[in-house]
Amino acid sequence: MRHGTKEYVRGDVHTNSIQEFVAMLRRALDGIYHSGSGKQLHRYLSEFEFRHNHRELDDGERTVAVIRAANNKRLTYAEQVG
């Protein structure tokens, strides 16, 4: 895309998708994770990538998708103290 030449859409790709994603992420970082850590940014991005990619599912379908994605995976996150 070339915004300088007023090109915002190319085929089925457009800038609205990334703008929507960034707006959702900003709202979450300001509202939910307002005291979040920059070291954990990759985790926040992963969560919102999942939310964005599953936004057309209802709550039950999204819950099943989370459970399937977590199947046979260990949680290895440990909070660093100090």
pLDDT tens string 42-70: 888 888 889 889 989 999 999 999 999 88
Three-state DSSP at 72 gives: coil
State the pairing for strand pair 9-10/13-14: antiparallel
Spatial separation of the C-alpha atoms in residues 45 and 49, rounded to whole Å? 6
Q: What is the pLDDT of residue 77?
A: 67
The overall pTM is greater than 0.85: no
- 19: tokens are 């703008």
Which of the residue ranges 11-20, 30-39, 41-50 has the most confident prediction, judged by mean pLDDT?
A: 41-50
Three-state DSSP at 15 gives: coil
